[in-house]
């Protein structure tokens, strides 16, 4: 099997992996680097990778681990670059767009302050759309633990947003 064959397997969920990494590290450069590191790991372990039942779950798990490694390294003295988010909806008026950006910024700030476990389940469930079972496989947590974390994350988000004047 050559590099192109492996890329054909990984490409359908490359963007999902990038978004997941970006949500965890909140830095576009680091997220790109994490996905590149993942591709290198896949290439080095291609024989093992090809035998996996759920290659996407394995990729998500490795992406999560690489992101946590990046965050630990960052805490040891690396400076974080600013990440900008831009809404692309051109059908709304500028005032509505500004309001949407502000709301999105507030939601992201609340999510960023959450513990890593809650941040991870919010990203996987509510942003990426994974099922509870898939999240359980990706994180190696029990199904009940995943459900509890999702419940806690949503409650924390709901509480924080209800306290913000809109």
pLDDT at 92: 60
* Residue 83, pLDDT above cutoff 50: no
Question: Is the pLDDT assigned to residue 113 strictly greater than 80?
Answer: yes
Distance CA 70, CA 31 (A): 9
pLDDT on residue 61: 92
Q: What pLDDT, on the 0 to 100 scale, is given for residue 18? A: 92
Map out the domains of the chain with their CATH numbers. Answer: 1-78 (1.10.1740.10), 90-166 (1.10.10.10)
Q: CA gyration radius for the chain? A: 17
What is the model's pLDDT at position 121? 92
**Average pLDDT across the chain, whole number:** 81
Say if pTM beats, i.e. exceeds, 0.75.
no
- For 56-92, letters b (16+ CB in 10 Å) and e give bbbbbebbbebbeebbeeeeeeeeeeeeeeeeeeeee
Average pLDDT over residues 7-13: 79
HEC string for the chain: CCHHHHHHHHHHHHHHHHHHHHHHHCCHHHHHHHHHHHHHHHHHCHHHHHHCCCHHHHHHHHHHHHHHHHHHHHHCCCCCCCCCCCCCCCCCCHHHHHHHHHHHHHHHHHHHHCCHHHHHHHHHHHHCCCCHHHHHHHHCCCHHHHHHHHHHHHHHHHHHHHCCCC
- Predicted local distance difference test score (pLDDT) of residue 26: 87
């Amino acid at each position: 099997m050559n590099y192109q064959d492996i890329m054909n397997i990984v490409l359908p969920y490359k963007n999902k992996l990038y978004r997941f990494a970006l949500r965890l590290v909140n830095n576009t450069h680091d997220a790109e680097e994490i996905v590149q590191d993942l591709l290198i790991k896949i290439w080095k372990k291609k024989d093992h990778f090809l035998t996996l039942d759920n290659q996407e779950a394995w990729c998500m798990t490795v992406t999560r681990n690489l992101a946590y490694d990046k965050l630990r390294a960052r805490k040891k003295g690396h400076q974080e670059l600013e990440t900008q988010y831009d809404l692309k909806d051109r059908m709304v008026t500028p005032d509505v767009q500004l309001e949407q950006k502000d709301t999105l910024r507030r939601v992201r700030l609340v999510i960023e302050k959450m513990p890593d476990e809650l941040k991870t389940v919010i990203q996987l469930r509510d942003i990426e759309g994974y099922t509870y079972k898939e999240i359980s496989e990706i994180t190696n947590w029990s199904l009940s633990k995943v459900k509890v974390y999702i419940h806690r994350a949503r409650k924390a988000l709901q509480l924080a947003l209800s306290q913000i004047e809109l």
